[in-house]
Every structure is written in C-alpha cells, then in structure tokens.
C-alpha cells in the first residue's frame, strides 16, 4: 500500500509547474567552446523573445566552377562534404559536371556540440572505388566566422580557391560559400541540414524539418433538391417512387422518398456537404426509383463541377436552375452492358456555397477559429498570440532502435487555419526545439492545441506516428501582455491506464491590440450570425464536423512533408463523440460540482432556520426585515453582494493557464475494462461475451438514468395535476385554497404577507415538527401518469 506522501508526490507530478527559462538571452561575447573562441557582433539580439537562443554555425553551399576532371575517367562527378569535428554533411553529387550548382544547400551545426576550432569544406569526386577522390578543400577558422542575426540582410556568398590536402598549395577549381554564426531565427534554419539529425538519410530528411501548414478553405455546399420532371423507370407500367441521391467526394446523402408515385416527384429538401478549395470533387446527382427494399433503379444522372455555383454571403434567396439529366438504362446487349442515352428528364435545384458560416472541423468546446468562410466577412484581429515551444523533459522511449529505447520527438500546434510543426529532434528524451510561432487572434474565447508526437518515418517505416501527449490553452484565461512560462505534463490514456509521458515546456503571450474590441466581442455571438438565423440540426453538425475533419486530414497528409492523418485526427479529437464510461462519470461529477454552491447555500439556510448559530440567525432576521420594509434595496443589495464576492475572489484567482486535470477527467480511478472499452473500435472488435457484459453494464447505468428522468417527469406531472381535475378532490381543495389566498392577498398588504412568511420560514426549531409540511404532503399525494406506463 502506497504512503500518503507518495500519493501527494504523484499528484504533484501531474500538475503544472513554473519554469524560469532564459528567454531571449543574449549570446555572451567571447564565449569559449572546445578550446576555441567565438567572435560575436555588437548586436546579437533576436525577435525570438519567447525562446532560449540556440546558436548554429551555418554553411551555405552555392556552386563550384573549373573543377579538374579525373585523369583516369576524364570526367568529374562532384559533391561537397562539410566537416566540423565528428559531424559530416554531404550534398548530392552530379554526373560529369565541372561547374555544379547545389541550389544554396545549407548545413547547420549546433554550437553546443561543436568540439573543433576549424570548419573544413571538401570537394570530392564520386568514384566507383572504396574511397572517393579528393579534389580540394577550404578551411575556416571559427574565430573569424561573422555573426548574423535577423533582421540583418543575408550574408553574401564568396568564391574560395580550393587547396590541397596539406593546405599549402592552391589547386584548380573554386567553390562559392557563405559561412556565418546565427540563431534559430535565421530564415535558413527550417530547410537546413542539421547535425542533430546526421543519422537521418534519404526521404527521412524531409520528415524532420519544421513547417507551417494552412488548413484548406472549407465551404458548406447547400443543395436544395426541389423537384424533377419526366423521370421514367424501366417498367413504364407503374409510376416510380423516386428519391434523389447526391455524391460529393466520399459524402453521400439522400432525400426522403417522394410520398406519391409519380414521374414528376417533389421533395424541396436541403442536403448539406463540406467541400474544400481548390474544388477537386464533382457533384454527382442521381434520381432513383425505390423498386424494393433491396433494389434501387437509377433513372437519371447529373454530373457538374462545383466552381460554377454561386457563393452566398448572407441569407438572401439563391436563384434556382433546371439541369438536364442523363438517362441510364439496361439493354439486352452482350453481358447486359450499361449504355448511356440522352433523355429529356430534368431536375430543379437551388445550389450555393455558403460563405457566411464557419465550417467547424473541431468541437465548439475548444474551438480555435470562429471566422466565416468568406474573407470579406472577417473582422480586424483583436490581438496577437505567441508561443515559444522550448523543450520537453523526461520523455518515455516510444520505440526500439538497435535494441535500445528511442524517441524522435516533434511538436504540432494548431490555432485557427494555421498549423505549425517543429523540427524532429532525433534520439533524445529531452529534446530542445526553441521555436517561436505567432498567430493573429480574432476572438479571445478560443483554444490553442499543442501536441507532441514520435516520428516513426525516419527510416522509411510506414507506422503511424505515436502520440506522446497534448496541451490545450484557452486564450481568455490569460492576462494580456504577460509571458507565461510553465512545464505542462504530457498525459496519455492507454488501455493499461493513465501514463505520464514527460513534460512540455512552453512560453506563451497574448498581446492585446484593441481592448475596446475585445469588450465588444463579449456581448456578441461566438459563431457567425448565420448559425443562429438558419441553424443546422445537432445531427447535421456532428456529420458535417466529421466530414470536415476527414477533408482537413486528407489535404494536410498530401503536403510535403506530410502532416499525417493520425496526427491531425488526434489534434482535432476525432473520436470525442464516442461513448466512454469514464467521460460519462466525469460529466456527471461536473454537474454535481456545478450544483455544489447551491447545495452549500441551501445547507447554510437550513442551519439558519435551525438556529445552529443564533447570532447569524438574528442577523439574517434583521436583514430580512430591512429588505421587507425597503424592497427597492433588494436588487441593489444582490448585485453589491456579487460585486463583493468577485472582489474577494480576486485574491484567489488562478495564476496559471488551465491544463489537463486528471481528477476532473476521472482518469486515476478508471477501471481497466472501462479503458479497454474506450479504446475499442467502432463497431466493436471484442468477443461476444465481452460485448454482452458491456451491454449489460450499459443497461444498468441507463436504468439509473431512466429512474432519475422518470422521477423528474413525475414531479412535473404532479404539478400539472393541480388544475387538471385528474384527482377531483385534490383539485377542488387547491382551487378553493387559491380563492382564499387571492382574497387574502387582495386585502392584506404585500409587506405584511412577506414578513409573516419569512418569520414562519425562519422560525425557531422548538416551533418546528419533524414531520413533512402540509404542502409537501398534499403535493406528494397528487397523481402522475406513471401508473399508465406498461
């Protein structure tokens, strides 16, 4: 059994921690590393003020000229090797080229790992022998390398004469290079070859670079299927019972069956799809006849592009159009082949691309963008949000590499339409990224999501990138213009239980551009007005959100390097709508906590009525008498009381951003079988016995919910029974009581009535009975409709 101290340590390990990183620290002048000095410029500052500065030695290889051919082969297949201590980087080689160009390939060597005072740049000739032929080299003394920090202009490359092996004699050929010392703020940093990832080769190099992605522009496509004319089935002896089916990419929706069998069916039904620019899918509409429950017959088809449809920016009526249908039939040709015939059938549609809605690809509970699709409807940004992704600590090994645990970690941050991906730090449990990113903020009540993943595609593997954990930060919980530096626990639920995968260190800042605009937003709807003027149903929103997530994941997976589908789905919580016993418990206790204040107030009032503290009871009596005598003070007193509570709670306001709460999530006490159910596929992949057991458990939970709902319904039906004459004696008594009370209230001043009622309610316990009151007894005897249930 674990001790309380161990439990407290474990609980503290799951909480947010304050950190004090050296943000925007200047690079000290004349610092030494590995026996060599470093020359810095007078102005070693950076715009990256939310990260720790990391210095790199950059080498830009541009081109070479007049390289000597090999005396044996008579040609030259050149490549460049950049060597700094034990680190080597290579360019691609060219076949039979004495004036090669390498398109400004950049090599970056981390200053912290440099153990040499010289940089060597070799030009070699790739031969079919064990050792490539030496052409020449250029040597740089690191003491003489200049420092360049943006916004300085890029360092101009220069031509350097090649030297022999000893460095004494110049040889034929020259190479154009630029060598400088810089930080991660350098524009060459994202696409450079990094010495930290020297073991990565081939296609894996493209998968370790930092990149910025933009979500595709999503539209809601509204297709109003009005009617069709002259649709004929194959069997012309009876009219068809028609419906319309529309395909847009992988999305398929149908109208309802036309209630009457006719060749001119009418539906007037809206079908909503999600599409993305550039529009790659086509709209395929078919008019089909419901021949039987298992057979549908195509009577006509329409294929059209999406670009030609009108883009609507408000709720005005869109003009409808008639479209001719292509008739499909089945002839008696060989193999019963399908043949296409032009036919006079047509369909009446009203189609538009909705630009005034926000297409939701994430839950509204932690939405990161609320702008409508059409850019013309965007407002001005109200702030800037900056994130410094510093480092991670204590990451768990995610895979085996040469028999030992290894983690190749990278971060992904998503806010609005902008996704960012840091570079991958290979084979490290304590990676340092120190990358800073910026977003424009259009609404403060939004959430940024930052996830950490293990890169599984460095060696050509096809495995999915593994989840390490994620963090959500709601911008409205941050003070403006303040830098928050914290270490966030990376918590992941696994089938075996809750596991801490490490900690992520972040620095965030929310800068306000217009305080008046922020105050203005708090009084306006979160979503664009079309969501309220012409709302979608809950089922439509769930379906459209899933389709939007699928489109975003597919498009981002086609980028280079790809932001893979499993990463996008984890960031967007694609499975948040699935049933989970753990989440159900968590939501139940959230409701209990919500009413805890009301319960506490009710308990306090009960103590006042029971005179547990006579002084408090007397003060409440005095306050009540004052409010009765001066009723105009009731509302001001109420608001003054809330003001004082707010001022008092200001001292105890949260000082940290929110983070994943294991107690709120009910993650510590969850049963293993409940977790196994949460991670089960849909439909289930478990055995019949396990599925039956879980079904019975769900029935048990649903039975308790059913009982609570039934009790609520019973109380409501009793209230209705007061005047429904279902119990004639009870209704008669209540009607007479109402008459007596009405007469009494007409002739008695309201202050007297309120005073008497308050004194009676606050009466001393010696004047109380332990039996239920008369009104309670009367109400419990009223009939409900529960006795009519089967």
- Cα separation, 635 vs 373, in Å, equals 44
Does an H or E element contain 473, and which? strand 466-474
> Tell me, what's the pLDDT at 330?
43
- Cα separation, 428 vs 785, in Å, equals 67
> Tell me, what's the pLDDT at 781?
87
* Torsion over CA: 134, 138, 143, 149 (sign): negative
> Tell me, what's the pLDDT at 333?
37
Distance of CA 71 to the CA centre of its chain: 61
- Cα separation, 286 vs 302, in Å, equals 6
* Beta-bridge mates of residue 37: 32
Q: Which of 484, 450, 247 is nearest to 366 (CA)?
A: 450
Q: What is the DSSP string of 172-197?
A: EEEEEEEEEEEETTSTTTTTSEEGGG
- For residue 323, give every residue at least 6 positions away whose Cβ sits within 8 Å of its Cβ, in sequence order, or none: 285, 302, 304, 346, 347, 348, 349
Give strand ranges (E) for 569-619. none
- Cα separation, 421 vs 560, in Å, equals 12
> Tell me, what's the pLDDT at 789?
78
* Torsion over CA: 522, 528, 530, 531 (sign): negative
> Tell me, what's the pLDDT at 30?
34
SS (HEC) of 227-285: EEECCCCCCCCCCCCEEEEEEECCEEEECCCCCCCCCCCEEEEEEEEEEECCCCCEEEE
- Cα separation, 447 vs 73, in Å, equals 63
> Tell me, what's the pLDDT at 390?
94
> Tell me, what's the pLDDT at 427?
87
Token pair for residue 695? 């079904």
ω before 509 within 30° of 0 (cis)? no
Mean pLDDT, 10 residues at a time, the chain of 790 residues:
54 83 55 32 52 90 88 81 89 86 89 86 75 83 86 87 80 91 87 80 75 94 93 85 93 92 92 93 92 86 91 91 77 42 77 94 87 93 94 90 86 95 90 92 93 84 85 92 92 86 94 90 90 91 93 92 91 82 83 83 85 86 84 84 89 84 80 77 81 83 84 89 89 91 86 84 79 85 82
∠ CA 110-115-121 to the nearest 5 degrees? Answer: 75
Contact 783, 718 (CB under 8 A): yes
H and E: helices and strands count for the chain: 14, 32
pTM exceeds 0.95 for this model: no
> Tell me, what's the pLDDT at 679?
74
Q: Burial letters for 211-243: b for 16+ Cβ neighbours within 10 Å, e otherwise?
A: bebebbebbbbbbbbbbbeebbbeeeeebbbbb
> Tell me, what's the pLDDT at 326?
85
> Tell me, what's the pLDDT at 698?
82
Token pair for residue 210? 């930092």
- Cα separation, 23 vs 507, in Å, equals 9
Radius of gyration, alpha carbons of the chain: 36
Query: From residue 403, how far is each of 425, 427, 570, 690, 699 by CA, in Å?
Result: 19, 13, 29, 36, 47
- For residue 59, give every residue at least 6 positions away whose Cβ sits within 8 Å of its Cβ, in sequence order, or none: 82, 89, 106, 107, 108, 109, 119, 121, 177, 178, 179
**Phi, psi angles (nearest 5°) of residue 72:** -90, -50
Does an H or E element contain 474, and which? strand 466-474
> Tell me, what's the pLDDT at 295?
85
Give the HSE-up count for residue 414: Cα atoms under 13 Å, Cβ half-sphere: 26
């Amino acid at each position: 059994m674990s001790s309380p101290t161990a439990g407290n340590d474990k609980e503290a390990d799951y909480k947010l921690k304050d950190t004090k990183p050296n943000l925007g620290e200047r690079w000290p002048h004349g610092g030494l590393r590995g026996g060599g000095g470093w020359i810095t410029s007078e102005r070693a500052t950076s715009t990256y003020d939310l990260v720790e500065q990391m210095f790199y030695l950059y080498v830009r290889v541009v081109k070479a000229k007049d390289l000597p051919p090999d005396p044996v082969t008579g040609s030259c297949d050149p490549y460049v090797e950049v060597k700094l201590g034990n680190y080597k980087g290579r360019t691609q080689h060219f076949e039979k080229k004495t004036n090669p160009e390498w398109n400004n390939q950049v090599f970056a060597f981390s200053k912290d790992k440099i153990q040499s005072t010289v940089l060597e740049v070799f030009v070699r000739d790739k031969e079919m022998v064990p050792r490539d032929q030496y052409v020449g080299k250029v040597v740089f003394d690191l003491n003489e390398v200049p420092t360049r920090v943006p916004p300085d202009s890029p360092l101009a490359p220069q031509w350097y004469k090649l030297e022999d092996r000893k460095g004494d004699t110049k040889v034929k050929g020259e190479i154009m290079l630029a060598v400088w010392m810089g930080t991660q703020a350098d524009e060459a940093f994202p696409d450079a070859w990094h010495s930290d990832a020297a073991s990565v080769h081939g296609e894996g190099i493209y998968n370790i670079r930092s990149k910025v992605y933009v979500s595709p522009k999503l539209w809601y496509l509204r297709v109003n299927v009005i009617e069709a004319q002259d649709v004929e089935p194959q069997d012309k002896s009876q009219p068809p019972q028609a419906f319309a089916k529309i395909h847009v990419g992988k999305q398929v929706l149908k109208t309802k069956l036309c209630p009457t069998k006719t060749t001119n069916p009418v539906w007037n039904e809206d079908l909503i799809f999600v599409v993305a620019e550039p529009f790659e899918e086509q709209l395929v509409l078919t008019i089909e006849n419901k021949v039987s429950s298992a057979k549908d017959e195509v009577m006509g088809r329409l294929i059209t592009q999406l670009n030609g449809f009108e883009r609507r920016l408000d709720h005005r009526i869109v003009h409808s159009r008639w479209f001719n249908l292509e008739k499909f039939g089945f002839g008696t040709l060989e193999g019963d082949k399908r043949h296409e015939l032009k036919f006079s059938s047509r369909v009446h549609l009203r189609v538009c691309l909705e630009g005034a809605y926000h297409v939701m690809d994430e839950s509204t509970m932690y939405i990161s963008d609320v702008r409508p699709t059409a850019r013309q409807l965007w407002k001005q940004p109200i702030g800037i949000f900056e994130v410094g992704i510093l480092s991670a600590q204590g990451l768990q090994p995610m895979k085996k590499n040469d028999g030992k645990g290894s983690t190749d970690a990278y971060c992904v941050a998503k806010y609005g339409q902008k996704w960012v991906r840091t570079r991958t730090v290979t084979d490290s449990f304590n990676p340092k990224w120190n990358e800073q990113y910026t977003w424009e903020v259009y609404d403060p009540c939004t959430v940024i999501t930052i996830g950490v993943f293990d890169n599984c595609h460095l060696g050509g593997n096809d495995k999915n990138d593994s989840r390490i954990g994620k963090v959500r930060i709601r911008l409205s919980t941050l003070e403006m213009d303040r830098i928050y530096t914290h270490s966030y626990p990376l918590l992941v639920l696994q089938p075996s239980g809750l596991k801490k995968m490490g900690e992520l260190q972040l620095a965030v800042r929310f800068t306000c551009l217009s305080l008046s605009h922020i105050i203005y937003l708090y009084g306006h709807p979160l979503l664009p007005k079309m969501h309220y003027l012409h709302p979608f149903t809950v089922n439509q929103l769930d379906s459209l959100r899933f389709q939007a997530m699928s489109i975003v994941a597919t498009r981002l997976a086609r980028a280079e390097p790809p932001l893979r589908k499993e990463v996008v789905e984890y960031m967007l919580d694609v499975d948040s709508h699935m049933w989970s016993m753990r989440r159900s418990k968590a939501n139940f206790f959230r409701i209990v906590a919500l009413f805890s204040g009301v319960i506490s107030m009710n308990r306090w009032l009960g103590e006042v009525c029971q005179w547990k503290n006579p002084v408090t009871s007397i003060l409440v009596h005095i306050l009540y008498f004052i409010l009765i005598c001066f009723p105009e003070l009731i509302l001001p007193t109420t608001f003054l009381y809330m003001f004082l509570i707010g001022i008092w709670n200001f001292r105890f306001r949260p000082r940290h951003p929110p983070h994943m709460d294991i107690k709120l999530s009910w993650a510590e006490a969850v049963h293993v079988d409940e977790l196994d159910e949460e991670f089960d596929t849909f439909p289930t992949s478990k055995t019949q016995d396990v599925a039956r057991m879980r079904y019975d458990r769900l029935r048990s939970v649903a039975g308790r919910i059913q009982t609570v709902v039934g009790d609520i319904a019973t109380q409501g039906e009793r209230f209705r029974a007061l005047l429904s004459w279902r119990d004639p004696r009870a209704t008669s008594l209540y009607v007479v009581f109402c008459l007596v009370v009405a007469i009494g209230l007409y002739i008695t001043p309201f202050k007297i009535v309120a005073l008497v009622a308050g004194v009676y309610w606050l009466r001393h316990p010696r004047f109380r009975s332990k039996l239920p009151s008369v009104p309670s007894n009367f109400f419990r005897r009223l009939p409900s409709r529960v006795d009519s249930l089967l």
